Amino acid sequence: MKTRIISILMLCFFFLTNVEGKAVADNRCENSKTKAKADLQKGKVNFLILGGIVSTHVKGQEVFEQKYKLKYFDFGCVMPNDICIEDYNATVAKYLDQTFGKQWRKEVRKDVKGI
């Protein structure tokens, strides 16, 4: 009987922490969309990248940045825990689609998540 009660309590704890974690993640991602929209209104257009130990530079990325008036922002291997890169980038991608059409998607760096 004690084992059953302990198992039920552990199961409840597992579900509560997962639901709680999901709510936090959803809020963080929603805030990322809001942050991206605010950055776009300021004329600050970025694609966020989670790289390796050091920031990655792809040859020719400056051409893309100049053509589409944006910057690649590489966090390296340490990313702030208050942002969802995929949602931020998806918001920026939607803006680029509306502004430049979809041609830019063939030219963007392949390590940009969320587009």
* Domain range list for the chain: 29-106
**Integer angstrom CA distances of residue 57 from 52, 71, 72, 88, 109:** 11, 12, 9, 20, 10
**Integer angstrom CA distances of residue 75 from 24, 49, 99, 106, 107:** 21, 6, 26, 23, 21
pTM (predicted TM-score): 0.74
pLDDT at 108 over 80: yes
26-63, pLDDT tens digit by residue? 677 888 999 999 999 999 999 999 887 877 788 889 99
